[in-house]
Each structure stands twice: as structure tokens, then as C-alpha cells.
Structure 1
Amino acid sequence: MLRYLRLLFDNFTLVLLAVVATASLLPAHGQGAEVFNRLTAVAIALLFFMHGAKLSRQAIVAGATHWRLHLLVFGCTFVLFPLIGLALKPLLLPLLGEALYVGVLFLCVLPGTVQSAIAFTSLAGGNVPAAVCSASASSILGIVLTPLLVAALLQMQAGSAVSPLDSMVLISAQLLLPFVAGHLLRPLIGGLVERHRVWLGRVDQGSILLVVYTALSASVVEGLWQSVSGARLALLTLVCCGLLALVLSLTAWLGRILGFNREDRITIIFGGSKKSMATGVPMAKVLFAGALLGPALLPLMIFHQIQLMVCAVLAQHYARKGKGLSPKQTPVP
């Protein structure tokens, strides 16, 4: 129960809300904004350097023989999600407006999470080695696939994304190179990274918070809260809830009709339905600029918290079913 509560009510979420409030009330501007922009660039490079250093080669290749499961998780992450975002355009564009709809599309093309997908899979009694492999590979592939998908999906939205070539150059320079450098240096610093995982986790979270503050500050100065009303924010929250519910249902259904066992179905549900804030926030900073940055981040921040809360409840439900604690034993959907 304590583990469940930690997943549902984490300190990082509370601090994130405080950062959003601070950026809304006291946004950085002028010379201060320039300083924060430079700090953010360093923080993003450090964030991806540490991601590369933490990811062992064994974790990357572990379970690679379970290709059907990994292919399904990747398909849900990089094909199913974007197709849903495109299919919902006639509904979402009038409801949310163009800027927030671009943010929803950006959310749909992001890679899955690593830490929380593995944690929920473990808690629910799923296939943890497969979850480690899928989540790790999704994070790496996303560095390349996400900017390409952003360019492809938003090519009709004038000015909302840079060209595919520019995207790849920016991502390679600011995200991929630090990631590769960190991974190549893992033999030298891997022990240090393992011994200080808790402290480095705080560095990760601090980097994300800095990027969120800088990005929202720029958007607030550009009039973010004048263009995004309370009613539209409530609609966006409902959209994120509906999107998560749809993907959770589809991943459960696909796992069942394709004949995966219970443990693999749990892995597919938690691996294929989640989106990474740790990767998404820095990528948004690279791919979007000016007034577009804040709306691009809002759907991700809302979806991130909803997925944590819902998946924490689901993980507990599946864990009880697996232990036979329910009076009416039923298979995982």
C-alpha cells in the first residue's frame, strides 16, 4: 500500500505544480530569460548524458528474442498513438484550438517511459525483463523517431515544427550526442552512476523542472494564459483522460487477441500506453519555439500525471488478481 501511495502522490508532481504556478506568476524575461535559456541547454545535455550512462548494454539487448512483444509495444507507441491523434483532429481542433492540438500530436509521438513503465509492470506481476528491454529501446528510438514523426504529422500546421533535416540536426547536437557520450563512458563512470542513482534521479528531475519553468515563462510572456482559458484547460484534461483510456483498452485487447500470456499482456499495457516526460520536455524545447512551446508542453504535463494515477490503480488491481486476493478470480483483460 505504501508503494502504491508513493506512485499516486509523488513529491515531484507537487513541485512541478509549484513550478507551473511560479512561471505563471513570476515568469523569467529579458536578461533573466537569457540566463535560464543557457542553463536549460546545459541541463538538457546533462539529462541525456546521464540517461546514456545509466542504460546498460545488457538492458538494451535483454529479451530481444521476444520480438513479438517488443514490436507490439513499439507499434502502440509510435504508430497507434499518432494515428489516434490524427484521427481525432476533426474533434480536437475545434475544441482545443490549433496550438493545443499540436501539443496533443506531440504527446502522441513521444517514446514511452523507462522507470515508471518498469515499476508498474513489476508491481502488477508482469514480465519485467521484457519491460526493461522495451522501455529502454523505446527511449533510444524516440530520439530519432520523434522529430521525424513531429515533422511528418505537423507538416500541414504552418510554422509548428522545423523541417525533418533541421529536427535531426538539432536533436543529434543537443540530445543524441550527449546520450551516446554518456553510454560510451559507462565503463568508466558506470559504478559511480549506480552508487548515486538516487542523487542522479534528483538531477534528472531538477533538469525537467528547469526546462518547464523556462518554457512556460516564455509562453506566459507571449500570452499563454490569455489564449488558453480555464474551460479549454478542462477540456484538455478530459481529452487526455479519454486518450489514455482508449490506448489502455486497445493495448489490453491487442495483447489478448494476439495470444500473449498474462505477464506479457501486463507488460504491453504499461509499456504501450505511457509517454515520457523526461524525454518529451527537452525535445519540446528543441523542436518548438516562442509561443508554441507552452501549449506543446501542457498536454504532456497533464497526461503524465493522469497516467501515473491511473496506472498505479491498475497495477494494484492486477497485483491483487495475480495473488488471488479477489473473491472472483478473473483473467487480466
Structure 2
Amino acid sequence: MKRPTWPSRLPIDPYVLLLLGTVGIAALLPARGTGADVASGAATAAVAFLFFLYGVRLSTREALDGLRNWRLHLTVIACTFAVFPLLGLAAGGLVPYVLTPALYSGFLFLTLVPSTVQSSIAFTSIARGNVPAAICAGSFSSLAGIVLTPLLAAGLIGGHAGFSADSLVKIVLQLLVPFLAGQFLRRWIGPFVARHKKVLGWVDRGSILLVVYAAFSQGMVAGIWHQVTPLRLLALLGVEAVLLAVMLTLTWFGAKRLGFGRADRVAIQFAGSKKSLAAGLPMASVLFGAQASLAVLPLMLFHQMQLMVCAVIAKRRSRDLEASPDAAPPAPEPDPGPISRLERAAAAGTVAGTATRSG
């Protein structure tokens, strides 16, 4: 068997390196004045187009069929917008000893963000779980988060999040309206988008890079980065590792206690334990303004961590099923759209295998 090349065995998604590079560019060459307005406008337009494409890709019939599994979707919604925030509030006891108030605000915001769509589908497919349920659960969570995330941020974060009726309107116009427009036009342009799936990947990653650059530029201009030290960042990573471990455990064993079968438990674990960078970044930009760079830092770190850990878990779930005497036949491959290089490597067994061997 041919050994994987060195880049494929990297434990870090190359896209995360692009994110870090974007942060570096924002630190050295932050957008100011008119340039900041242009960067912010471009990021807003790119994110709106991204959610438009999400709307085009989601089958209305698939979404309606998914409503039949309402217990599963309510479980994912409860994990995303109830259990996660409760754990976030519990972490408030770590301030100021472990987390600074500013980092804690970002950490709490992380717990309020909706679930992912693409990576939930990808990992559920790898683990041979209920893929249609993962598609619907991730989509429903994203739509619910357009309203629930800013409302929860207003109630739990308070003055650190600049919530107002105007903020909610901006988020709805940027995320929900393009999604609904995509659903409406799906009948006519859906086949074209399906033939050009790479476009969604470019828009997805490009929009996030634009939002990161605009947010971190604001932070540099406002001079807020003196609040963060390497020791505080390490402490934040440790807290996030505990948060992810708790949620992965609760979603897996909690779903079993609720009577869900294996395939549904896989979908609940991957959709109920993850947070969306694509949805969280634009919301943070609207809610936090110049403080958005610190607010999204915990989300960026958690995003990378969840991909690496879930890649390992998904492969183990698949191997466990293959070893079972009652193993079911492989589920048909879904069309989750473009996924990150880490997720594709997990499907091929390279990253997951490397992570497993390294402990």
C-alpha cells in the first residue's frame, strides 16, 4: 500500500493555516477607513451568497421528510441551544482565574452558535449513520440559530454583545433571506449548482476568510489584542477540549438513553456536538463590532478541534460497525457538497489513522 504523502498526514487542516495566515495579514496590514468598509461589505456579500447556495442545495422534499424524525431534531436543537449554553454559563466560574472576561464572552458566544451542516453530514456518512437525518438536523439548527443565537446572546452575554432589533434584522437579511431565496429559485438553478459543487466550497471558505480579515482588522485598529497572552490561549484550548469531550459523551450516551438506534445516535452525536464557523462569524461581526476578533477566536479554535476529534471518532464508529456480526450494509454516499481537506482525509483514513496511531 502506498504511504500517504507528508501533507496528507498533517494533523492540521490546511484551511486552518489559511485562517491563521489571514489573521497574520490582518495584524500586519489591517483594513482602515474606506478599506475597512470595502472588506466588511465584501464579507457580508460573500456570506449572503453562501447561504443562498445552501438554500439552493437543500431539497425541500428532503427537509419535509426529515420532519418526521422530529424527536431526533428536537434532541439536536436541545443540545445546541440548551445544553451547550448551560455548560458555557457553568464555565463562568473560571473567570478571571482561567479565562479573561473578554475570552469568556467569546467562549460563551461559541456555545450559542448553531450546528454545522457540511461536516455533520460528512462525519455521519463516514460513521455509517443516518445521513438524511444529519442533513435535516444541521439545516434546521442553522435556520433556528439565525433567531435563537442573537436572542441568547442578548440574554446571556448582555452588554458585551451589541444586541438590538437592528442587529436581528441585519442577521436575518444576511443569512435567512438569502437562504429562502435559494429555496425559491432551487427549481430553476438547482441542477446548475449541483454541476458546479466546487463553487460552494470556494464561497464557503472565501467568505469565512473575508469575515476573519474584517473582524481581526477591526480588533487591531481598536488595539484590543493586548488582552490575550499565550498562557490564556492554552487555558482556553483546555477548556474547549473539556467542553467538546462532555458534549460528545452526552450526545452519544444520552441518545441511547432516549431510545435512539445506532444510526440516529451517530447523527445526533455529530450534529449535536459541533458549532458552525460559517454561521458564527457573520453573527459575531454584527453583534460584537470591534470586539468581534476576540469573540470569534474561541469559535475558530473549537472548529479545528472538533474536526480533528470527530474524524477519529467517525472512523472508529465505522470500524466498530464492520466488526459487528449484525453489521448493516454501507449507507449510500450523500452529496454533502464540498468538505474540507481534513474531512476528505478522514474519509480516506489518513488523518484518522494517523491520529489514532499517535494516541
**Equivalent AA in structure 2 for residue 170 of structure 1:** K
Counterpart position of 2:68: 65
CA separation in 1, counterparts of 2:67 and 2:41? 39
Q: Residue 50 of structure 1 aligns with which residue?
A: 53
Structure 1, 222-231 or 80-89: larger mean CA deviation: 222-231
TM-aligned CA deviation for residue 8 of structure 1: 5.7
SS for the counterpart of 1:63 is: helix
Distance in 1, Cα, partners of 2:59 & 2:73: 18
The Cα shift of 1:276 comes to 0.5
Deviations 1:120-171 (A, max 9, x none): 011011111111111111111111211111111122xx243313x2332221
Conserved 8 A contact 2:102-2:295: yes
In the alignment, is the contact (CA less than 8 A) between 2:31 and 2:214 conserved in 1? yes
Deviation, structure 1 residue 63? 2.7
Would the aligned equivalents of 1:7 and 1:309 in 2 still touch at CA under 8 Å? no
Q: CA deviation at 1:203?
A: 1.4
Normalising by structure 1, what TM-score?
0.90
- Please name the residue that 1:216 is paired with: 216
24, 27, 36: which one aligns with 1:24: 27
1:6 CA displacement: 8.5
Could you tell me how far apart the structure 1 residues matched to 2:121 and 2:201 are? Answer: 15
Q: CA separation in 2, counterparts of 1:138 and 1:75? A: 10
> Displacement, 1:34?
2.3
Corresponding letter in the other structure for 2:218: A
Q: Secondary structure at the match of 2:129?
A: coil
Q: Which amino acid aligns with 1:320?
A: R
Gap change, CA 1:58 and 1:180, over 3 Å in 2: same
Listed as ranges, the matches of 1:319-330 within 5 Å are 319-324=318-323
CA distance in 2, matches of 1:113, 1:60: 16
Residue range with higher mean Cα deviation, 58-67 or 236-245:
58-67
Q: Quote the residue 1:304 is aligned against.
A: 303
Amino acid at match of 1:72: T
Deviation digits for residues 295-321 of structure 1, max 9, x if unmatched? 110000000000000000101111111
Deviations 1:196-233 (A, max 9, x none): 11122111210110110111111122223211111111
Map of 2:343 onto structure 1: none
TM-score where L is the length of structure 2: 0.84
Alignment of 1:137-148 (within 5 A): 137-148=140-151
Deviates more, 1:21-30 or 1:113-122: 21-30
- Aligned positions, number: 320
Alignment correspondent of 1:10: 13
Secondary structure at 1:144 match in 2: helix
Partner in structure 1 of residue 186 of structure 2: 186
Is the 1:62–1:129 contact (alpha carbons within 8 Å) kept by the matching residues of 2? Answer: no
Give the alignment of 1:239-318 within 5 angstroms: 239-290=239-290, 292-318=291-317
**SS at 2:68's partner residue?**
coil
Contact preservation (8 Å) 2:50, 2:200? no
Report if the CA contact (8 A) 2:274-2:306 is conserved: yes
Whole-Å Cα distance in 1 between the matches of residues 74 and 96 of structure 2?
Answer: 31
Contact 2:13 2:304 survives alignment (8 Å): no
> 1-side partners of 2:65 and 2:224: how far apart?
44
Q: Retained in 2: the 8 A contact 1:59–1:136?
A: no
8 A contact 1:112–1:135 mirrored in 2:
yes
Aligned pair partner of 1:40 in 43, 49, 52: 43
Deviations, residues 66-87 of structure 1 (Å, cap 9, x unaligned): 2221111111011100111112
Structure 1 position 272, deviation (Å): 0.5
Give the Cα–Cα distance (whole angstroms) in 2 for the partners of residues 15 and 289 of structure 1: 23
Secondary structure of the 1:65 match is: helix
CA contact (8 A) 1:112 1:275 kept: yes
- 1:172 paired residue number: 172
Q: Take 2:10 and 2:16, find their aligned partners in 1: how far apart are those partners?
A: 10
Query: Deviation per CA, 1:159-189, whole angstroms, max 9, x where unpaired?
Result: 43313x2332221222222222222111121
Q: Quick one: which amino acid aligns to residue 293 of structure 1?
A: A
Q: How far apart in 1 are the matches of 2:324 and 2:258?
A: 27
| Structure 1 counterpart of 2:310, one-letter code | C
Distance, in Å, in 1 between the alignment partners of 2:310 and 2:157 is: 29
Unaligned runs of 5+ in 1: 327-333
Once the two structures are superposed, residues 235-270 of structure 1 have per-residue CA deviations (whole angstroms, 9 ceiling, x without a partner) of: 111111111011111112211211222111111111
Residue 161 of structure 2: SS of its match in structure 1? coil
Contact preservation (8 Å) 1:7, 1:308: no
Greater mean alpha carbon deviation, residues 75-84 or residues 174-183: 174-183
- Other-structure match for 1:231: 231
Q: Which residue number corresponds to residue 331 of structure 1?
A: none
Distance in 2 (alpha carbons) for counterparts of 1:140 and 1:116? 16
